[in-house]
Chains A and B, each alone.
Chain A
Amino acid sequence: MNGIHDMGGLQDMGPVRIEKDEPVFHAPWEGRVYAMYNAIDGGWPAGSGRYERELIPPAEYLRMSYYERWLHSLSELLVKNGLVTRAELASGTAAGGNDKGRKVLHAAQVRATIARGFSSRRDVPAVAQFHVGERVRARNLNPTGHTRLPRYVRGRAGTIASDHGVFVFNDSLVQGHGESPQHVYSVRFAARELWGSDAPAHDSVYVDLWDEHLEPA
């Protein structure tokens, strides 16, 4: 989706302000939202919260703080997946139980769960469509759903810098079309290819792209 979240290359977004001695969370509620999002076993595909945030209308997206977007996306996912109702979110009172039998993360499991992680690398055979050193072009795709192909590289030529191996294809997974595991590459795009002849000659941007994002150049 060509949404506001796809920000690479936008201009006049203001200065980058670095807060000195920044706390991890600026208010307790941020930590609670963060924790609920990571604790819940919602049954939705990994990355669904991210897609929900991409669906926030642009003006609201820009106005909201980072954890407001998380709060919004978590609430939407919970409602859409039938785990809670909007009435409950408004009242703050549960009107049912764990009816779908979702798994509950307990405190004693937290450390091990974090340490284990949740890799989207897949140990399945998938033929690499491209090889290191090969010239490729990012396809000019404009899907209306979730995609990891940023606008600023579409139609641009680059070089396969490395092959990360086989991973779940998030564009497919988040749309409910399955994992579709395929190779992910680090693709080097010269700054001049992306931004024109005024860009420094030797600078570049490396973007991680899947087989389906690429075509031979």
Chain B
Amino acid sequence: MRTFRIPDQVARLAVLFAVAAVALVVVRYIFVPKSFGKLGHYRAAAVDAIASQPVRYAGTQTCVECHTEEAEKKGNSFHRGLACEVCHGPASEHASDPEAKKPFVPRERGACLYCHNYLPSRPTGFPQIIEKLHNPMKPCPTCHNPHDPTPPHVPGTCSACHASIARIKAISHHDSLECETCHEASPQHRQDPRSALPKKPTNREFCGKCHAQNAPSAKEIRRIDLATHGGRYLCWQCHYPHYPEGR
């Protein structure tokens, strides 16, 4: 009678498979980190390691716990949205041991200029100075308290905040026009800009006061026929009033 016997070559192959399988498990056990695959295809322990990095910026909430006076002053000023550590630098060491480490106090001109030096790319309305013209060499805190930077004098000209517009208007035919010719602004706007926004012209007739055929303005000013020129569009939908000759 024939008895079934697993052929030798198959048995050897099976042993080989078994050894390989065991080796795989053992190698994986040794080399794959314990937390790998717990949350996904990565070491879950890495998340905790990253989260345990030391904190350097303590955060404004921490600063105001002790510095209540400055916080109150700043909280009612133009700098109300500004975090303490923007100017004073990372201060968590100071927060954990106030005596051992004092935060940086900028007293030179440079620090304020990061934000307030004139750059045409900055959004209009942001207060900017031209460093070389604005009280040269004088450190900013001599006139402005950084915790309440309201200028000692209200800005004399609109260009203090609207420098980009002032620059382009200066090379345009509208150079001789005062801003107030078109933008009626209450004095309040200079004190607290957002509480009283300046007005803007609302109709074609406003520009017509100078540019209409029968306007009582200088002869050299370009005239248009208000009734037909530009169809239904308002003047500033095509012409940039601060640079009307621009394309």
A and B from one complex: no
Chain B residues packing against A (C-beta within 8 Å): none
